[in-house]
Amino acid sequence: MSANSSAKAVETVEIGGVAHGGFCVGRLASGKVAMIRGALPGERVRVEITSERSKVAYGRVVEVIEASADRVPEIWPEGAARDIGGVELGHVSYPAQLRWKREVLAEALRRNGSAELEAMVSAVIPDWEVESLGDKPGRTRVSFIIDDQGRPAMSEAGSHQVHAIKSFPLTVPGIDELRLFERPLGFAPGTRVKAVAPSASAPVLAVGGEVYNADLIPTTPRVREVVEDAKFRIFASSFWQTDYRAPATLSAALLAGIGEVHGFETLELYSGSGLFSVFLGRALGKEGRLTTVEGSGPAVKSAAYNLEHAGFGGVKTLRGNVDARLLNSLEFGERVSAGTLVVADPPRTGLGEKTAKAICEKEPFRIALLSCDPVSAARDLEAIRKEGYVLKTFRAFDLFPYTFHMEALAVLEKN
């Protein structure tokens, strides 16, 4: 998005429906579609136009003329006043947040998938909803950038402009122990800082390749997590499910979704530090076979360690970018005892059509797909559906209250 001469124009807009990214949709006086932050369906608002493209404008609410009954006091006034991203639904009542996310996901299934995909989901679960774990904020990881005065800052929505902040409302209490907003942190301007509050070790700051404790003293680069009765050691800088409820929730949902897989040959893609791998190892049993693939070297090291210490030292942990070429090079299905399974937990961009097709060409009996973006979820599911797979399980989770993010799990089987 690029700013232009109308960047600070203000218009009165009637708000329509919701859209992915935390936006609501309206139209400017010119007829141009506007994607608006801080609005709710049915409202009449004053909107500051922050940027424009040829066919769409972007803006933020600066005044509410007629409010929705779903509007609540902003959970993060500081961020809203400066148009900082990260708490896009901070003005929305929690029940309305769940409805918002369901509508966005349903629209993605229709628009980015197909009518056939939407019908398939509706046939499996006619009245599916976005499942809630409660409205309590629970982020154990949050990233900042250091501003010119050494303070934690975050970016303005749709911009490279950063603003120092004095609070952030979505984290667990452990993040407070790092005293992020109470003192200069001493890092150079532009430095990216990741605050981490693990479940089984002290909170730390990950800064590039270094890790610091709450006293800003260098410390071990690894942190510890416990999920149910499973123990994990991971690098503080590595990816881990952000909300404290997510690891157990998604692991349990995955196991329930794939059903009985004892003795299966399984390929786990985008396997990270081994969260799902350990639980898959248990489900597969000694007769099963598990191969994991992950692009991050540190995460692969963590996964190997976690699997070995969980009693699954025989699991093959591979490092590589998940794509059609890599998938075509892997042996899979040659030693089938009970069945074959592929589990994939890709980043927000999703599998992509080529990778999805390459997975299907391995002809697994069952595919489990976890998605953190509704658009990529719909595209990936449609690609898999076209290869002859039918949906068996579909669930959506709100693991990120007050944001537009959600998680979806789908399990498909060869027709």
Q: Is 161 annotated as a binding residue?
A: no
Number of C-beta neighbours around residue 81 at 10 A: 10
∠ CA(132), CA(135), CA(136), 5° rounding? Answer: 125
- Choose among 389, 390, 391: nearest CA to 408: 391
| CA-CA-CA-CA torsion sign (171, 175, 176, 178) | negative
Number of C-beta neighbours around residue 137 at 10 A: 18
Cα separation of 186 and 150, whole Å? 6
- Choose among 51, 13, 7, 16: nearest CA to 30: 13
Give the H or E element holding residue 277: helix 275-284
SS3 325: helix
Q: Is 294 annotated as a binding residue?
A: yes
Distances (CA, A) of 34 to 25, 39, 86, 111, 236: 6, 11, 20, 19, 39
Question: Is position 372 annotated as part of the catalytic site?
Answer: yes
Cα separation of 175 and 177, whole Å? 5
Residue 187 tokens read as 């890092």
Residue 352 tokens read as 């992509």
Q: Give me the catalytic one of 153, 253, 368, 372.
A: 372
Which positions make up the binding site?
241, 270, 294, 345
The residues carrying an active-site annotation are 372
Which positions make up the binding site for S-adenosyl-L-methionine?
241, 270, 294, 345
